[in-house]
Chain A
Amino acid sequence: MNVKTPSKLEKILAAGHLAVTSECGPPRGTDPEVIVKKANLIKDHVDAINITDNQTSVTRMSSLAACIHLKLLGLEPVLQMVTRDRNRIALQSDILGAASFDIHNILCLSGDHQSFGDCPQGQNVHDIDSMQLLQTVRHMRDEGKFLGGDEIKRPPQMFAGAAANPFADPFEIRVPRLAKKIAAGAEFIQTQCIYNLDKFEEWMRLARERGLLEKVSILAGLTPMKSAGMARYMKNRVPGMDVPDELIKRLADTPKEKQAQEGIDVCVESIQRLKEVEGIRGFHIMAIEWEEKVPEIVERGGLYPRPEVD
């Protein structure tokens, strides 16, 4: 088993298991119990837990602090880091800080624009972009050096990941863009929520043909729908989201009180179908403020129990 970091997620993937990750959003306050509670709902059913970084540009407890809370519980966090709010000094500094707590996974993102959040009049930084953050993480880890060239004493050991949206426009560059992220240093990919399975499978096919799937572990991103209303909202209001009309119809045709269960069923069916897709290495289940449903999805998806690795 060839691994480069102490990451449990990396070890699970290297052992050939289908990995399962999920995510928790930190609270809009200082109570650590919020994150502990969410984590406890899912900890036995996932291998690692992403902590979002001020998602949708709404100010929250820092991702790093919340990751430390998980680490103190003995759990495996994935530190999400966006390039919107920090320059290269702060990003490198936070990478060191995270690594000092043995946080071994990082997901490099650009972040939603601040106009969506609670500080639309704020500056954004974008000193480097998400690909350059990947390069930075790999440079710090593999070369043991800062961007400025100085040596790092005890370099960070982080398994480097990126997001990919197979559904964003323009479609013709979705696979070249994946190739670019791999070239920048991505070792795992957590995709945008998949609802259009045909289009996703097409993206996987093109990536496979280019030989990209041997170089990166793709975790298929899934978010269960709570209602037909949520499905419509995702389709119409969330940038880069592809929700087929048949799915909206399926939910809308279900009695209102049963729509949430139908959404879970859809999610489980997606796992069952995508498990058969060559090159899928795991699942990233983003049950937004619905963490209690993750165990059911994982169990019914045939992904339980989770494997043990050293």
Chain B
Amino acid sequence: MIVADKKPIEEIIEEIKDNQNILILGCNECVTVCEAGGKKEVGVLASALRMYFLNNGKEVKIDEVTLERQCDHEYLEEIREGIDKYDAVVSLACGVGVQFMAEKYHATPIYPGVNTCFLGATEERGLWTERCQACGQCILARTGGICPVSRCAKRVLNGPCGGSTSGHCEINKEVVCAWQLIIERLTNLGRLDDYEKLAPVKDWSSDRAGGPRKVIREDVQQ
């Protein structure tokens, strides 16, 4: 899933403080799972903002809505009817949802309420970690199912680098060395010989380097 983290409330206030009618718009997908932008977080943020404006003697109306998804036209249409009464929307969706909202509702300012962080997993409640950078050319078959692009600080494809110590990365002892994991995994699979296969220079044109990406699937287009 896409993992996001809450923005500091001061940053959100700075963006919206001059508005009178504000919609806090949550998303029921990834940001709900990572507890950054679901219905619960919409309620918490709305209450905190109401408190702030009340304490500052400002009359501001704050509404709360959480959509099934913000990255889907169908669900964004659900708020079309009332959108004009708001002079600002704070979207707690990932960056995709924020942009999709802005593309749909041209006259309404949309502000991000979260920082979109990475593609990751829930390791335990309150701990999410990165697993994928969406490079567009998956190499996991060669690396025992562990991704050096997202999990190595230097995205070394023929690792580990000289900074790997006791299974940890040179940047921080809390960070596990991806190549240590790859070697352990290849060992467990009886495939350590594969370690010596040189990974070729990678084609990054399917990564960020190639510009904005798209996937076209004619077989499912209507």
Hey, which chain A residues are within 8 Å of B201, CB to CB? Answer: 88, 128, 132, 135-136, 147
Hey, which chain B residues are within 8 Å of A276, CB to CB? Answer: none
Hey, which chain A residues are within 8 Å of B161, CB to CB? Answer: 110, 130
Q: Is A49 an interface residue (CB 8 A)?
A: no
Hey, which chain B residues are within 8 Å of A192, CB to CB? Answer: 162
Q: Chain B interface: which of A1-9, A17-25, A161-169, A295-303? A: A161-169
Hey, which chain A residues are within 8 Å of B166, CB to CB? Answer: 169
Supply 14 A–B pairs (Cβ within 8 Å), ascending by A.
A83-B154, A113-B154, A115-B153, A126-B154, A129-B154, A129-B158, A136-B201, A169-B165, A169-B177, A169-B180, A176-B196, A179-B196, A239-B162, A239-B170
Whether the Cβ atoms of A180 and B158 lie closer than 8 Å is yes
Hey, which chain A residues are within 8 Å of B199, CB to CB? Answer: 129, 131-132
Complex Cα gap A44–B155 (Å): 40
Q: Is B22 an interface residue (CB 8 A)?
A: no
Interfacial residues, chain B to chain A (CB-CB below 8 A): 153-167, 170-171, 177, 180, 183-184, 187, 192, 195-196, 198-202, 204
Hey, which chain B residues are within 8 Å of A113, CB to CB? Answer: 153-154, 163, 170-171
Q: Which residue on A lies nearest to B165, using beta carbons?
A: A239
Hey, which chain A residues are within 8 Å of B159, CB to CB? Answer: 129
Q: Is A173 an interface residue (CB 8 A)?
A: yes
Whether the Cβ atoms of A169 and B164 lie closer than 8 Å is yes
Q: Which residue on B lies nearest to A139, using beta carbons?
A: B201
Whether the Cβ atoms of B198 and A126 lie closer than 8 Å is no
Hey, which chain A residues are within 8 Å of B167, CB to CB? Answer: 169-170
Hey, which chain B residues are within 8 Å of A173, CB to CB? Answer: 160, 183, 192, 195
Q: What is the minimal beta-carbon distance from B106 to any residue of chain A, in angstroms?
A: 33
Q: What is the minimal beta-carbon distance from A289 to any residue of chain B, in angstroms?
A: 21
Q: Which residue on B lies nearest to A110, using beta carbons?
A: B161
Complex Cα gap A50–B160 (Å): 23
Whether the Cβ atoms of B154 and A124 lie closer than 8 Å is yes
Residue from the list A84, A116, A129, A183 in contact with B157, Cβ < 8 A:
A129
**Residues of chain A from 217 to 248 with CB closer than 8 A to chain B in the complex:** 239-240
Residue from the list A126, A168, A239 in contact with B156, Cβ < 8 A:
A126
Hey, which chain B residues are within 8 Å of A251, CB to CB? Answer: none
Complex Cα gap A173–B156 (Å): 16
Whether the Cβ atoms of B195 and A176 lie closer than 8 Å is yes
Q: What is the minimal beta-carbon distance from B176 to any residue of chain A, in angstroms?
A: 12
Complex Cα gap A147–B158 (Å): 18
Whether the Cβ atoms of A129 and B156 lie closer than 8 Å is yes
Q: What is the minimal beta-carbon distance from B148 to any residue of chain A, in angstroms?
A: 9
Known contacts A113-B170, A115-B171, A168-B162, A127 near B204 by CB under 8 Å: yes
Q: What is the minimal beta-carbon distance from B177 to any residue of chain A, in angstroms?
A: 8
Hey, which chain B residues are within 8 Å of A131, CB to CB? Answer: 158, 198-199
Q: What is the minimal beta-carbon distance from A28 to any residue of chain B, in angstroms?
A: 22
**Residues of chain A from 124 to 170 with CB closer than 8 A to chain B in the complex:** 124, 126-132, 135-136, 147, 163, 165, 168-170
Q: Is A187 an interface residue (CB 8 A)?
A: no
Q: Which are the 10 A-B pairs with shortest beta-carbon distances?
A: A239-B170, A131-B158, A239-B163, A165-B162, A129-B156, A240-B162, A110-B161, A113-B171, A132-B201, A126-B154
**Residues of chain A from 58 to 76 with CB closer than 8 A to chain B in the complex:** none
Whether the Cβ atoms of A170 and B180 lie closer than 8 Å is yes
Q: What is the minimal beta-carbon distance from B115 to any residue of chain A, in angstroms?
A: 16
Known contacts A110-B156, A113-B154, A113-B171, A240 near B198 by CB under 8 Å: no
Interface 1/0 per residue, A85-124 and B, CB below 8 Å: 0001000000000000000000000111101100000001
- Taking each of B157, B165, B200, B201, which has the highest tally of chain A beta carbons within 10 Å of its own beta carbon? B201
Complex Cα gap A58–B164 (Å): 20
Q: Is A184 an interface residue (CB 8 A)?
A: yes
Hey, which chain A residues are within 8 Å of B160, CB to CB? Answer: 168-170, 173
Complex Cα gap A112–B171 (Å): 9
Known contacts A113-B171, A169-B180, A176-B196, A240 near B164 by CB under 8 Å: yes
Q: Which residue on A lies nearest to B186, using beta carbons?
A: A173
Whether the Cβ atoms of B171 and A183 lie closer than 8 Å is no
Complex Cα gap A240–B179 (Å): 14
Complex Cα gap A231–B122 (Å): 41
